[in-house]
Amino acid sequence: MNGIEETGPVSVALAHGWTLVNEQPQLAREQAGEILKVVPGNREARLLDAAALRQLGELDGSSASFDALARDGRLWPRATFELGLLRYREGRLDDAMSLVGSALRDGLKLPNAWRLLGDIATMANDAETADAAYNRHVADSARDPALLEAALALVDGRLAVAEHGLRDYLKRHPTDVMAIRMLAEVGARLGRYPDAETLLMRALELAPGFAAARHNLAIVRMRINKAEAVVQDMDVLLVKDANNPNYRALRCAALVRLGEYETAIASYHSLLADYPNRPKVWMSLGHVLKTVGRSPDSIECYRKSIALKPELGEAWWSLANLKTLRFSSDDVDVMRRALERPDLAPEDELHLHFALGKALEDAGKYAASFDHYNRGNQMGEGRVDYDDEDTARLVEESSRVYTPTLFASRSGQGGQSPDPIFIVGMPRAGSTLIEQILASHSRVEGTMELPDMPAMARRLGGRIRGDEPTRYPELVASLSPDQLRELGEEYLSRTRIQRKTDRPFFIDKMPNNFAHVGLIRLILPNAKIIDARRHPLACCFSGFKQHFAQGQNFSYGLRRIGGYYRDYVRLMAHFDRVCPGAVHRVIYERMVEDTETEVRALLAYCGLDFEPACLAFHETQRPVRTASSEQVRQPIFREGIDQWRNYEPWLGPLKEALGDVLTAYPDVP
d(CA 409, CA 79): 74
More confident of the two residues 210 and 367: 367
Q: What is the rounded CA–CA span in Å between residue 21 and residue 51?
A: 7
pTM of the model: 0.76
Residue 493 CB: number of other CB atoms within 10 A?
10
Of residues 332 and 451, more confidently modeled: 332
Alpha-helical segments (H) within 545-586: 558-578
Q: How far apart are CA 329 and CA 207, in angstroms?
A: 56
Q: Alpha helices of 443-516 — where are they, by DSSP H? A: 452-461, 481-495
Residue in 125, 351, 90, 129 with CA at minimum distance from that of residue 249: 125
φ and ψ at residue 302, rounded to 5 degrees: -60, -40
Looking at per-residue confidence, does 40 or 530 come out higher?
530
Compute the mean pLDDT over every residue in the chain, rounded to the nearest whole number.
89
3-state secondary structure of 245: helix
Judge contact between 566 and 455, C-beta under 8 A: no
End-to-end, the C-alpha distance of the chain in Å comes to 89
Average of pLDDT values for 341-347? 90
pLDDT digits (tens, 9 = 90+) for 42-75: 999 999 999 999 998 899 999 999 999 988 888 8
- CA 477 to CA 410: how far, in whole Å? 10
pLDDT given at position 139: 67
pLDDT at 174 over 90: no
At residue 624, does pLDDT exceed 60? Answer: no
The residue ranking higher by pLDDT, 545 or 113, is 545
Instruction: Tell which CATH architecture fits domain 415-664.
Output: 3-Layer(aba) Sandwich (3.40)
**Is the Cβ–Cβ distance between 135 and 155 less than 8 Å?**
yes
Alpha-carbon span 660 to 653, nearest angstrom: 14
Cβ atoms of 206 and 226 within 8 Å: the answer is no
What band does 185 get if pLDDT is binned at 50, 70 and 90? very high
Closest listed residue to residue 431, CA positions, set 584, 256, 309: 584
Q: Are 590 and 430 in contact (CB under 8 A)?
A: no
Cα separation, 495 vs 143, in Å, equals 46
**Single-letter amino acid code for the residue at 282:** W
Q: How many CA atoms lie within 13 A of 668 on its CB side?
A: 14
At residue 8, what is the residue type? Answer: G
For residue 635, pLDDT over 90 is answered with: no
Q: How far, in Å, are 124, 143, 268, 290, 622 from residue 262 at the CA level?
A: 24, 48, 10, 12, 12
Percent of the chain with pLDDT over 90: 62
- Asked if the model's pLDDT at residue 572 lies above 80, the reply is yes
Phi, psi dihedral angles at 384 (to 5 degrees): -115, 160
pLDDT digits 0-9 by tens, 375-412: 999 999 888 778 888 899 999 999 999 999 999 999 99
Question: Contact 538/644 with Cβ under 8 angstroms?
Answer: yes
In Å, how far from its chain's centre is CA 251? 14
Instruction: Flag whether pLDDT at 110 surpasses 70.
Output: yes
Paired residues of 139 in beta bridges: none
Q: Does position 6 have pLDDT exceeding 50, yes or no?
A: no
Q: What is the pLDDT of residue 424?
A: 97
For every residue of 64-104, DSSP letters joined together read: HHHHHHHHTSPPPHHHHHHHHHHHHHHT-HHHHHHHHHHHH
Please tell me the distance from the alpha carbon of residue 462 to that of residue 562, in angstroms, as a whole number: 29
- Do 531 and 511 contact (CB within 8 A), yes or no? no
pLDDT digits (tens, 9 = 90+) for 464-513: 444 455 688 999 999 999 999 999 999 999 999 889 899 999 999 999 99
Q: Please compute Rg for the chain using Cα positions.
A: 28
SS3 per-residue string spanning 110-125: CCCHHHHHHHHHHHCC
